Structure 1
Amino acid sequence: MRFRGYWLLPLALAGMIFWLSAQGHYPGGIELPPPLDKAAHASVYALLALALDRTLRHTATGLPLYRRHLWILAAVALYGASDELHQFFVPGRSCEFGDWLADCFGGGLGLTLGSLHLLFTRRLGALSWRRGAPRRPDPARDLILVADPHWNAALTGLEAATAAHPGADWLFLGDIFDVWVGFPGMETEAQRAFLAWADARRAGGRWVGLWMGNREYFLDRHAARFDLMGEGIGGALEDESLAWEHGDLINSADRQYRLWNLVSRSGALWLVFRLMPAGMARKVSAWMERKLRTTNAAYKLTFPREAFHAAAQAHAPATFLTGHFHTHEVEANGIALPWAHEGRFMVWRGGKVESLEP
């Protein structure tokens, strides 16, 4: 994590909170009756949470949104508790549990309000992250592209393509399984087999990247098992003029999905899954998979050509790739890759995208 000027604002706010807690009254002798005093607490801590969120977005780019928000809420709660304890020793100031609750509520409210713009915009850096090396050791190698295989029990086409192209690197553009929730006890035998395959390819000196789609949740604990892992927008290989994202965030008009995307990748849902018994969590995961098949059919059936064109042009002159749409489309410098459900893979070779021959 890099220390930059971004940290000045949250540090200044934390210092202001500490200074205010050392006073016997609010500045200017202001007296705030209930519930305005609680609203003041919530407002100050909402600002602190927003400042921390902005800072971590720019200084900890490998931190997923849910982890970032959980760390911020924990920091706000701990700082609020220390603030209330500090007030216990200040003449004229009371230490109240209700103030601490207001502090915590303010932190959560600040993060919620700070995320609302993600429902409407293509500026999605706040929910995007990546870890690893965005550069291949040998860009001259074939890069096999796998988009939306939606595997279940069998990794269709993977073994055959590996045997036919042993020297190739690999990039997976999301929706690898029908649903993949990265918690111990929830992963399937097929998912464990895929991770073992990735380990073997990397042990053989091949580059393997995984960019998460709308059916992968909380996989960052596996990031070290890939050369590159990420989510949201901003996927790219340096020096190869290649950029990508999964594609689920292309259509900013799909508000229903944007809201689901935020909720399903939130710290609150992570906590719910962690607290669930494994059996119940697997049932919820299966229910999510069934819902994802039928939700927002109108948006899924129509390729958002204008939105896709605009997203591709934002990366010009690089070739811009997505999966997600289950159809092979070419628009300016953008290519939507075909559905790999039956082992239909593509390849990035010599600066072009082609069908991978057996």
Structure 2
Amino acid sequence: MRMRWFWILPLAVAATILWLSAQSQYPGGISLPPPLDKAAHAMVFGLLAWLLDLAFQRNRPDLPLYRRHLIVLAFVAFYGATDEWHQSFVPGRSCEFGDWVADTTGGALALLVGNLHLLFTRRLGALSWLRGIPGRFDATKDLILVADPHWSTALTGLEAATASHPQADWLFLGDVFDVWVGLPGMETEAQGAFLDWVDRRRAEGRWVGLWLGNREYFLDGHARHFDLLGEGIGGHLEGEGLAFEHGDLINAADRNYRLWNLVSRSGMLWLVFRLMPGRMARSVSAWMERKLRTTNAAYKLRFPREAFRHAAEAHPGATFLTGHFHTHEVEANGIALPWAHEGRFMVWRNGRVEAL
């Protein structure tokens, strides 16, 4: 639910900072010697960054975590520079580069600390986002479910299923390719062919949705291709009793993966990739794919049955779907879909999940 009034809080902090910078000395004659003055700068601008991040979370659910954090940090850095410049005109005050560094560092640390809870909990709204409308044009149509095809150069099974079910809608539940990084120079011909297929399906009046998995990065720029694009938790189709997510965030005990998930979707990594030459970026992408195959093997070998059941029961009255686990499991109202290897797709039909 949007909470536009929440913008008042960061605006109040920003206005307070501006007022304080216009004073020749702090209220009550307070004087902070170094390094306490830098710590005060970091704390105040950290508070500003934290409140801005919360305001964006509550009012812009379409913004991925990396983009939201880049916007917040850019604003804090710009506002800090403006504040320092403004102080240079106030008698008794000076413009110090160290203060601006403290301002920006405080903002970055606040974003880091403010998101540490994402390592330990199922309250993952801060890293979840969606674009589009979570509802189909005609809920009576078959909805083909594709979880974890892990395509590389060939879209195995896609054309055959399209030809045999031309009227069906489609929902992809992540890990569509071995690795898919949505940045210039890092996407493959097969990924371009998949987007062309999506465009053709939609041009023919079919609904196509994609919920991102742990092998998709920075794909929000492709939202125009899909009726629904999202990440994290909270995927659903209105009026159909269907809820879904990829499944990689089910097991809160897998701290190593949670940490990697946050780092790999951070604004810092996005900046690094954007600055890399195309060939180097593709090499890094291939290295990431190899590492993903071998990390946290202990957690991948065992289906987290209890955690999965709790996640499913958080959606009473709905069928809860995931991919990710590469095995067909049923717990309470939850269904983990089998690995869509070699075109092994499923279908949502008449309120039931069946093999296609």
Structure 2 length-normalised TM: 0.99
RMSD: 0.9
Distance of 2:292 and 2:2 partners within structure 1: 38
Distance of 1:247 and 1:180 partners within structure 2: 17
Distance of 2:284 and 2:124 partners within structure 1: 27
| Counterpart secondary structure, 1:236 | strand
Is 1:225–2:225 an aligned residue pair? yes
Are 2:45 and 2:107, in contact at CA under 8 Å, matched by a contact in 1?
A: yes
Are 2:3 and 2:58, in contact at CA under 8 Å, matched by a contact in 1?
A: no
Are 2:144 and 2:345, in contact at CA under 8 Å, matched by a contact in 1?
A: yes
> Deviation at 1:317?
1.3
Residue number in structure 1 paired with 2:352: 352
After superposition, where does 1:103-118 map in structure 2 within 5 Å? 103-118=103-118
> Deviation at 1:342?
1.2
Distance of 1:23 and 1:341 partners within structure 2: 66
Distance of 1:162 and 1:27 partners within structure 2: 70
Residue number in structure 2 paired with 1:304: 304
Is 1:145–2:125 an aligned residue pair? no
Residue number in structure 2 paired with 1:69: 69
Residue number in structure 2 paired with 1:291: 291
Query: Cα distance 1:312–1:2, how it changes in 2: closer, same or farther (>3 A)?
Result: closer
> Deviation at 1:92?
1.0
> Deviation at 1:266?
0.0
* Alignment deviations for residues 300-356 of structure 1 (CA, whole Å, 9 cap, x no partner): 000000000000000011000000000000001000000001110000000000000
> Deviation at 1:132?
0.2
| Counterpart secondary structure, 2:31 | coil
> Deviation at 1:3?
7.1
> Deviation at 1:185?
1.3
Query: Cα distance 1:3–1:305, how it changes in 2: closer, same or farther (>3 A)?
Result: closer
Gaps of 5+ in 2: none
* Alignment deviations for residues 196-246 of structure 1 (CA, whole Å, 9 cap, x no partner): 000000000000000000000000000010000000000000000000000
Distance of 1:48 and 1:342 partners within structure 2: 50
Residue number in structure 2 paired with 1:120: 120
Are 2:76 and 2:107, in contact at CA under 8 Å, matched by a contact in 1?
A: yes
Residue number in structure 2 paired with 1:280: 280
* Alignment deviations for residues 153-189 of structure 1 (CA, whole Å, 9 cap, x no partner): 1000000000000000000000000000001111111
Residue number in structure 2 paired with 1:242: 242
> Deviation at 1:2?
6.8
Distance of 1:42 and 1:134 partners within structure 2: 40
Residue number in structure 2 paired with 1:34: 34
Structure 1 length-normalised TM: 0.99
Are 2:173 and 2:210, in contact at CA under 8 Å, matched by a contact in 1?
A: yes
> Deviation at 1:94?
1.0
* Alignment deviations for residues 273-326 of structure 1 (CA, whole Å, 9 cap, x no partner): 000000000000000000000000000000000000000000011000000000
Distance of 2:28 and 2:253 partners within structure 1: 48
2:346 partner letter: M
Residue number in structure 2 paired with 1:327: 327
Distance of 2:167 and 2:192 partners within structure 1: 23
2:4 partner letter: R
| Counterpart secondary structure, 1:288 | helix
2:257 partner letter: Y
After superposition, where does 1:134-173 map in structure 2 within 5 Å? 134-173=134-173
Counting aligned pairs with the same residue, the percent is 77
Distance of 1:83 and 1:208 partners within structure 2: 47
Gaps of 5+ in 1: none
